[in-house]
Amino acid sequence: MATKEEENTVFDVEAANVLTKELRDVFASGKTRSYEWRISQLKSIVKMCDEHEEDIVDALRQDLSKPQLESIVYELTMVKNSCTLAIKELKHWMMPEKAKTSLTTFPSSAEIVSEPLGAVLIISAWNYPFLLSMDPLIGAIAAGNAMVLKPSEVAPATSSLLAKLLPEYLDCSSIKVVEGAVSETSALLEQKWDKIFYTGNGRVGRIVMAAAAKHLTPVVLELGGKSPVVVDSGIDIQIATRRIIVGKWGCNNGQACISPDYIITTKDCAEKLVDSLKKELEAFYGKNPLESKDLSRIVNSNHFSRLTKLLDEDKVSGKIVYGGERDEANLRIAPTILLGVPQNSLIMKEEIFGPLLPILTVSKIEDSFDIIKSGTKPLAAYLFTNNKKLKEQFLMSVSAGGVVINDTTLHLAVHSVPFGGVGESGMGSYHGKFSFDAFTHKKAVVYRSFVGDASVRYPPYTLGKLRL
Ligand code: NAD
């Protein structure tokens, strides 16, 4: 039987109800709307990152064996950069935007006012557990909302660190952290929110959207998908290979939403590409990559079995041309390349989200477009080519959340472009000003005075008035 203390800590629908009421009250007080409040919270996040860098790196190491450099570059620095940009631009972002008016409303003026939405819910995922919690939170703060963050239970060390640090550094009456898994998230999803920002897989994305629909709550869904890499001939194969490797294995060992999921190249190119991948992978991770300190481990045994199942399927197991080694006790899988896997294999049907990289071959490179289009729209698509016409064709015919030509994953670091999916890879976007916009209502405001009061729109209606 649970003790009195344990009973008190259960986070159920009733507790979620109390929490949202508190947030609504604090939002109604106007506290979170002020420029000063927003700036002070953003500055505190930078301070928290600086003062707890070691703790954050350590939590990421516990959750994923994430290499220190990856944690600093892809999680901490990205969070600090988002804050610094918001601090620098906030005044400008908050300012009403002048808008043109028309003859119909003459004389008048108009503007677009950025209004905070209210109480928002952020549900985050495990693979970049610090970044994916803090980055949307920064947008919600910059936009002047009250909020709850629900970090992923699959990265428990980072989740509990966030639950400890955020109340120490941020205004805990307006920014709350709820830790937990399905039942806690479900309790939160029962509530009426002004926006739900969810990062994770599409199955849960559907659950989130259905819950939001009950209250007509808008959602941002940051989902995933199979992000393809098309490799054309006539390119610098060594540079291309290195850029594919850092986007795949250098990003959390393939456990990243925009990691290359599979490669398509021509039959002529495939051999050269495989040779180059083998050479560069060995140069980066050594002869025994299972022991490399520069590769994250697989997050947990569920994901480990999911990945090994993909590798062990009969149709696929004979296609491994590099890697394939695994260490179940330490949840490690070596970078693995597969050549010529059939399109109807499991590995080509679901998002891999791990260190396995199948290569498909086509007779001519343009055939790759049909393969990509036969699946759902990916979160990212990459093309390596020097052919201008092919670039144009790729951009015209492949729909994806984002595209990078001659590199992988880099659009994530460009704050002036939106980051988000399309179709089954998600809806809505964030990063930079787009994060502010994601948590803002654009209120249309038209100003009129009592000067000039054309009678055209007043009854009685006579066509003669139109000819005036
Ligand atoms: P996850 O298991 O951490 O789940 C995400 C969140 O959903 C967690 O907070 C979890 O508690 C919650 N959740 C799980 N089941 C739920 C349920 N039944 N009801 C309500 N809430 C529930 O993460 P994941 O889904 O394994 O993440 C991997 C997926 O996320 C991949 O598809 C990846 O591509 C995608 N992803 C997308 C982005 C992006 O920015 N677009 C970033 C990271 C990951």
Q: Does the complex come out with an ipTM higher than 0.85?
A: yes
- Ligand 1 binding pocket mutation candidate from 190, 204, 306 (most atoms within 8 A of CB): 204
Amino acid at 240: A
Identify whether 325 is a catalytic site residue: no
**In degrees, to the nearest 5, what angle opens at C-alpha 114 toward C-alphas 110 and 118?**
135
Determine if ligand 1 sits within 6 Å of the CB of residue 178.
no
181 C-beta closer than 6 A to ligand 1: yes
Q: How far apart are CA 208 and CA 223, in angstroms?
A: 12
Catalytic residue among 257, 269, 280, 351: 257
**pLDDT number for residue 8:** 57
pTM for this structure?
0.97
223 CA to centre of ligand 1 in angstroms: 8
CB atoms within 10 A of CB 52: 18
Residue 182 CB partners (closer than 8 Å, separation 6+): none
Per the CB < 8 A criterion, the answer to whether 353 and 224 are in contact is yes
pLDDT at 2: 40
Residue appearing with tokens 């988002």: 82
Identify the pLDDT of residue 1: 39
Nearest CA to ligand 1 atom 27: 200
Closest CA to 178 of 193, 166, 194, 190: 166
> Is 328 an annotated catalytic residue?
no
Is beta strand 320-322 parallel, antiparallel or unpaired with respect to 336-339? antiparallel
Q: Which amino acid is at 84?
A: T
Atom 11 in ligand 1: which residue has the minimum CA distance? 181
* Three-state SS sequence of the chain: CCCHHHHHHCCCHHHHHHHHHHHHHHHHCCHHHCHHHHHHHHHHHHHHHHHCHHHHHHHHHHHHCCCHHHHHHHHHHHHHHHHHHHHHHHHHHHCCEEECCCHHHCCEEEEEEEEECCEEEEECCCCCCCHHHHHHHHHHHHCCCEEEEECCCCCHHHHHHHHHHHHHHCCCCCEEECCCCHHHHHHHHCCCCCEEEEECCHHHHHHHHHHHHHCCCCEEEECCCCCEEEECCCCCHHHHHHHHHHHHCCCHHHCCCCCCCEEEEEHHHHHHHHHHHHHHHHHHHCCCHHHCCCCCCCCCHHHHHHHHHHHHCHHHHCCEEECCCEECCCCEECCEEEECCCCCCHHHHCCCCCCEEEEEEECCCCHHHHHHHCCCCCCEEEEECCCHHHHHHHHHHCCCCEEEECCCCHHHHCCCCCECCCHHHEECCECCHHHHHHCEEEEEEEEECCCCCCCCCCCCCCHHHHCC
* 210 close to ligand 1 (CB < 6 Angstrom): no
CA of 324 to the centre of ligand 1 (A): 26
pLDDT for res 468: 57
Q: Are 456 and 463 in contact (CB under 8 A)?
A: no
Q: Does the beta carbon of 197 lie inside 6 Å of ligand 1?
A: no
- Among 362, 369, 364, 370, smallest CA distance to 383 is for 369
Give the pairing type, strands 219-222 and 426-427. antiparallel
pLDDT in tens, the chain (468 residues): 344 444 457 899 999 999 999 999 999 999 999 999 999 999 999 999 999 999 999 999 999 999 999 999 999 999 999 999 999 999 999 999 999 999 888 899 999 999 999 999 999 999 999 999 999 999 999 999 999 999 999 999 999 999 999 999 999 999 999 999 999 999 999 999 999 999 999 999 999 999 999 999 999 999 999 999 999 999 999 999 999 999 999 999 999 999 999 999 999 999 999 999 999 999 999 999 999 999 999 999 999 999 999 999 999 989 999 999 999 999 999 999 999 999 999 999 999 999 999 999 999 999 999 999 999 999 999 999 999 999 999 999 999 999 999 999 999 999 999 999 999 999 999 999 999 999 999 999 999 999 888 778 889 888 887 775
Strand partners, 290: none
Ligand 1 atom index nearest CA of 421:
41
CA of 124 to the centre of ligand 1 (A): 7
